[in-house]
Structure 1
């Protein structure tokens, strides 16, 4: 039994005439008769009887007609669901953005971009950094902004900006660091950082650096226990907002920073992915060298 046979049977039952049904279905009457015959053989019963020039459903045909209509309606609904899911997938922008001082600017760019096309829906993911390349390759992510330049031949990555870091402390007898502290001077202090995007322990090899998920803990350690915080500019601003007496100096002289790249799959079939990729390139890359594909 084939779906085509069910369609032919239902239309023939509606028209009660083989020639008219063939015209509606746009098939030869002989092809229609052959398919109806195959269906009857498959079911082991006659579905129609002749009444003059017309044909009528037999009792078995009437019973089967109800089932056939339901089957075809269910198939149509399933097709519609599949189409809707596919359309949703094709118009959903899946992105990952690693936290940085530029996150707000990146999101402003994204917000402006999607407002230009109301058909785009989006999901902002928070993925493990180690899985980003895999998720771009299997298309579960469309665009990634992260510290890693992804070098797979199927991907393209460009540098957007560099994330700088600062050291923050409460100046008193126990902590008295200069504006351009040396690495050894910093490593002499207990250090704390707030969920860094890069591995801080590899930068401060001669000191144990403690990672925290709560800035209020870092603030407490700075005020009461002589810690020094290694944080981004945004995080430094939050700390000094709550406690203006903190001292904040840049770590640019020690080259403690990390790049932030934007990466996409080269053959991503969603046109808006490449469009935003190019828009980000135009918005951020004037600060750096020209980019060529």
Structure 2
């Protein structure tokens, strides 16, 4: 006997009409009829008296309907008690993220498991995200630069490759792949979402054997990329950014040498007692990012 059978049975008992009950349940009449028939077969007795299109509970059905209602109420009460015990309020999870085309799919896969949880998402500079993480205004931070502190756990999960992005009429645009040292005399536009973002750009250039000529430094990647789109310089393009469709006047170039990448990771407070839902959200997000990272290996 299945929970769905009980729910279907009680709907038919209340409406006393098979086709109207099927309409309310958003199932086909034949599927509903088969479900009720299987239930009656399991019990070994009919539960309804059929009078044309109208159906009505018989004596067996009255007894079973009373027991089914009590069972569903009991299960619902147990669910509430378990959620209270686990500190589940079905309210919201607050998270700060970086701009990434990965996130919509990952959020969707979480909603398939917990459709009643509200996700409050923001895109904050890492310094602001760190402050709000400490104060408890956000419960999780996903960023492409480490967020560290005495009571902060930082877990790097996903290796995100970086490519060079240049104006389409730039001399380097003739190449699909280059050694980064070929860009040693170029004007770089950098973005610094956190304390180490610029260091990441500088590290790539240093690994290639030169000091980058950084002419502009911003905190918003979309603005930096638009400046490249306007022909003001070149920069690095993160593998999972969703901003490329707005950059009609640019070309992305793979970097052959050195290996340029940034690590995407998760930060949360190790001293805070998070709700069950917040823990499950964090576990889900980390798992999904790890699976993407495995796919890239």
- State TM-score, norm by structure 1: 0.53
- Name 1:134's counterpart in structure 2: 131
- Name 1:64's counterpart in structure 2: none
Shift in alpha-carbon separation, 1:279–1:254, aligned structure 2, 3 A = same
- Name 1:202's counterpart in structure 2: 202
1:248 and 2:248 matched: no
Q: CA deviation at 1:146?
A: 1.0
Does the CA-based 8 Å contact 1:168-1:229 persist in structure 2? yes
Does the CA-based 8 Å contact 2:189-2:224 persist in structure 1? no
Between the aligned partners of 2:170 and 2:227, the Cα distance in structure 1 is 21
Q: Deviations over 1:5-57 (max 9, x none)?
A: xxxxxxxxxxxxxxxxxxxxxxxxxxxxxxxxxxxxxxxxxxxxxxxxxxxxx
Shift in alpha-carbon separation, 1:89–1:249, aligned structure 2, 3 A = same
- Name 2:140's counterpart in structure 1: 143
Larger C-alpha radius of gyration, 1 or 2? 1
Q: Which segment is superposed worse, 209-218 or 268-277?
A: 209-218
- Name 2:229's counterpart in structure 1: 219
SS class of match (2:257)? helix
Q: Deviations over 1:94-124 (max 9, x none)?
A: 110022xxx2322322233245435422321
Q: CA deviation at 1:287?
A: 5.7
| Matched residues, number | 193
1:120 and 2:130 matched: no
* Structure 2, unaligned runs of 5 or more: 1-86, 206-210
- Name 1:160's counterpart in structure 2: 157
- Alignment map for 1:37-56 (pairs within 5 Å): none
Shift in alpha-carbon separation, 1:172–1:217, aligned structure 2, 3 A = closer
* Structure 1, unaligned runs of 5 or more: 1-86
Between the aligned partners of 1:196 and 1:150, the Cα distance in structure 2 is 11
Q: CA deviation at 1:89?
A: 8.6
Q: Deviations over 1:148-194 (max 9, x none)?
A: 33444543332221222212335768547755534442121223356
Shift in alpha-carbon separation, 1:182–1:231, aligned structure 2, 3 A = same
Q: Let me know the Cα RMSD of the aligned residues.
A: 3.6
- Aligned match of 2:245 in 217, 221, 238? 238
- Name 2:74's counterpart in structure 1: none
Q: CA deviation at 1:207?
A: 1.3
Q: Deviations over 1:123-153 (max 9, x none)?
A: 2123331133332232111111012334445
- Name 1:29's counterpart in structure 2: none
Q: CA deviation at 1:286?
A: 4.0
Between the aligned partners of 1:247 and 1:119, the Cα distance in structure 2 is 42
Q: Deviations over 1:208-248 (max 9, x none)?
A: 243461644422317xxxx43432344684366x24xx543
1:258 and 2:268 matched: no
- Alignment map for 1:59-70 (pairs within 5 Å): none
Q: CA deviation at 1:252?
A: 5.7
Q: Deviations over 1:60-90 (max 9, x none)?
A: xxxxxxxxxxxxxxxxxxxxxxxxxxx9998
SS class of match (1:181)? strand
- State TM-score, norm by structure 2: 0.52
Does the CA-based 8 Å contact 1:147-1:260 persist in structure 2? yes
- Name 2:274's counterpart in structure 1: 269
Does the CA-based 8 Å contact 2:165-2:237 persist in structure 1? yes
